Structure formats: C-alpha cells, structure tokens
Amino acid sequence: MKKLALSAVLLAAFSPLLLAGQTERISLFDSYVTVNADGSMLVCETIEVQAAGQNIRHGIYRDFPTRYHDLLGNQYNVGFQIVGVERNRSSEPYHIGTIDHGVRVYFGDSRLMLPSGTYTYTFTYTTNRQLGFFADHDELYWNVTGNRWQFPIDVATATVVLPEQVRQADLGLDGYTGFRGERGKLLTHTRNAENNPQFRAEHLAPGQGLTIVVSWPKGLILPPSTQQKLNWFIADNRAVAVGLAGLALVLLYYFAVWNMVGRDPAAGTIVPLYEPPDNMSPAAMRYLERMNFDNQAFASLIIDLAAKGYLTIDRDASLTYRLIRKPSFVEADKALSPDEKLLAKKLFENGSTVSLDRQNYNLLHRARKAVQLSLRATMEKIDFLTNSQYMWPGVLLTLATIGAVVLLGQTFSTMAALFMAVWLTFWSLGVYGLLTAVVKAWKATISGKPIAGIGAFVLTLFSLPFLAGECFGIYILYQS
C-alpha cells in the first residue's frame, strides 16, 4: 500500500515534466452542425487539446473564413456570430482579430498562463450562406477543422443534423482529407442512432483538415429569394458601390463645372491683324497661345531685341555666338516691351557682351527664368482663366470617397487594392509622360535625324522597367 501511494505521489510530481516532453496536439476535434430550415447553421465545436506550455500558453485560437469569391469573381461575406466559448465547461474569455479573408477568435486570457495538461474547449457560433443550391439538389460543403492548425489532430469527427430526416437513398455523403486543395479519402462516413450523417478522420498532420459534403433533395431548405440575394450583394460590395458612386459624383461635378465655366466661348468674327498687338513681344504671343514658356519663346525675345536694333548677334573666332548690346540705340525703353526690357537688363547686367557658352549658363538660365516668371505673373491674371477654385470641391469629394471606402472595407485585400489604385494613378502619369517622350524621340529619328535614334533607343530601354511595373501593378490590383 505504501508503494502504491509513493508511486502516485511520484507520478503526480513528474506528470508536468512528462507532458512537457510531449508534442502539443488536438486529441479530438468534434463538430456538431445543425442546419436550419432558413439555411442558417448552428455549429458547436468541441476541441480537446494537450497543452505543454509550448504554443498553447494562454489558450488557442480558431480561424474562420468569412470572405469568399463566387465563380464570377464577386466578393461575398458569410455570416458569423459567436454564441459562446467554454473551457472545461466553464465560460472562457475571448477576443476577435482580423485576418485576410476572415476573423481569428482567440480563446483565453493573456494574463493567465495555462499549466500543462488536457483542456476541452467548446466553441459555439452561428453562420449562414454556407449552403449550395443547385438545379437538382442542395448541398453543404463544409471544412470542419480548417487547415491552419499547427498541431496534429488525432481524431476529427462531424455530425450534421438536417431540418427533417432524409431517406438514405436520397442523402449523398462524401468528404476529403489532407492539406488545402487536396482530396484525400482517409475518412469514414455513416449514420448515428438518430439517423444523422457522421464523419470521422484520424491522424491528421499539422495543416491537414477534414472537409465533408452532404447533399439532399431540393425543397428541404428554403433557398434565398431574389431580394435577399440583392441585399446580400449590396452589403458584400458596399465599399465598391460607394467607390463607384463617389467616382460618378466626382465626374459629374467636374462635368458640371466644365459646362458652367470651362467651355470655350462661341467663336465670333475673326478680324485679321497684320501687325502684332501694341507693346506685346513675340514671346508673350507664344506664351498666350501655348500657356507655356519654352526655349522658342526665349529665342524669339533675343531675335526681337536684335530686330529692334538693341543688340547684334555674331560669332567670335571660336565660332561661339555672342550677344552685343548697341550703345547707340537710345530709344530702347520706348521700343521694347516689358519682358524685353527685363531680358536686356538681366543679360547685360555684367557687361555689354554675352557669349552663348557654358560659362554663361547660369546667367542665361536666370534671365530666362526671370522673363518666364514675369510673363506668368502678368498674363495668367489677365489672359488665363484657370478656374482653379473649382478644383478643390472635387478634391474634397475624392478624399471623402476614399475615406468611405477605407471605413467600409477594412480588410487587407481592400486596403491593398486601395493602395495599388492610388499608386497606379501617379505611376501611370509618369509612365504616360515617359512613353510620350519615347514616341517623340522615334518620330524625330524617322523624320530624318538618324543621330536621334541613339537617344530614342536608350530612352526605350530606360522605359521598359517602368512599363513592366505598370503591368505588374495592374495585375496586383486585379488580384486584390
């Protein structure tokens, strides 16, 4: 008797060490699925685990997918409502986290460390939209265990209770085991004493799971109505719907603004002018036509200064062009336009001669920039109506739409799609500009400038990685 008592004491003392040396596992995963007449389901999962303080420290977690895509690529969300969580028949705290395509339910208290031992968790929840309604039958295709467990499962069982009893000849039973996508047949299925379908699989490795298929004749469960399907579709794609509605509003706003203030006025009678407008330089006329200041506008100013006798253009012994101010031209202030006066002042601020070479690059650049800013300040206030004040309501509406999409679709896939959409917008603008430059370079080559072909070839090679990035971004956006 003393030996027996001593053995019991030693076994109790060393049992934690023995369990610590064991591999944590799920000794039993039992799922009891009740299918209701309205198509919803009540699921009660009993999960018995062997904990050894390795990965099971505070409890376990259960992943449940809620977001799927149908055959047409439309996203749909299944219902998921937790009824309760228990550990060893006592209420257990839990919290819910978000994962890609679903939720993760954490069982246990992070402040409580579980001793090594055996624990039985009972997880009860409701779900819907899990049934398939086909032309000649209805079906439950149900992944009982999931495929994300990092522990082996010794035994997995499932029982399905239908709203009414179905004759054995009319009831179809099938199932699969293995990793995600595999169709292993290491399972058995039968009926219990209540004539309900039962499934059993054993020795599932980490990542393997049990999937069951139960089919029955039509009429047992009421399929969703057309109105219900429409309501589900709107709810499933509300972020997309809000995004499309916001895009439509933005486009409608910009069209209305363009129609109100952006349309060019009706063409009137054209009166030909045989002389340029008073006190308006060729550069100003080009700026007015193109709404931009370019090298041609800058060159036209220099040529106009020479035509009016303010300066001469010649070449020195090294064939470098020079601009030489003529001191004999005393009527300069009266003959020159404001932008020509400014250019003359900037060009000859250090002397009466300017060589058009690299040494004077900064001088020429400053002179060009000064004239450009002067024309912009003068003409954009009088001759150009940009109506930029009408842009900001559209920008605010765009930001509001993006914010609504983020709030309504707070999932990894939605956020990834939103990021790719914003990124692609700016990336596409850059790629468009780059490809435009490539086309211009090759046009210059074809038009009789063979030397430009080298630059066109280099620019083409340079643009290829950016074009590949554009294609990759579009692919990722489509996948998201």
Q: Could you tell me if 96 and 105 are in contact, meaning their C-beta atoms sit under 8 angstroms apart?
A: yes
What's the gap between Cα 254 and its chain centre? Answer: 25
Residues 179-222: tens digit of each pLDDT: 999 999 999 999 988 889 999 999 999 999 999 999 999 999 98
Please state the length of the chain: 480
Going by C-alpha positions, the residue among 338, 353, 130, 330 that lies closest to residue 223 is: 130
- Exposure string of 82-91, with b = 16+ CB inside 10 Å and e = fewer, is eeebebeeee
With contact defined as beta carbons under 8 Å apart, do 375 and 283 qualify? yes
3-state secondary structure of 157: strand
Q: Are 102 and 63 in contact (CB under 8 A)?
A: yes
3-state SS assignment for residue 127: strand
Mean pLDDT of 340-352: 87
Task: Please give the Cα distance from 446 to 443 (Å, whole number).
Answer: 5
Pairing, β 25-35 against β 153-161: parallel
pLDDT score of 47: 98
Query: What pTM was computed for the model?
Result: 0.60
Note the pLDDT of residue 92: 97
Domain assignments of the chain as residue spans, ordered by start: 25-224, 282-379, 411-479
pLDDT at position 33 is 98
- Decide if 444 contacts 456 (C-beta within 8 A): yes
Is residue 316 predicted with pLDDT exceeding 60? yes
Contact (CB, 8 A) for 237 and 75 = yes
Q: Is the dihedral of CA 52, 55, 60, 63 positive or negative?
A: negative
CATH class assigned to 25-224: mainly beta
Facing residues of 176 across strands?
211
Q: How far apart, in whole angstroms, are the C-alpha atoms of residue 354 and residue 322?
A: 6
What's the pLDDT at 19?
A: 44
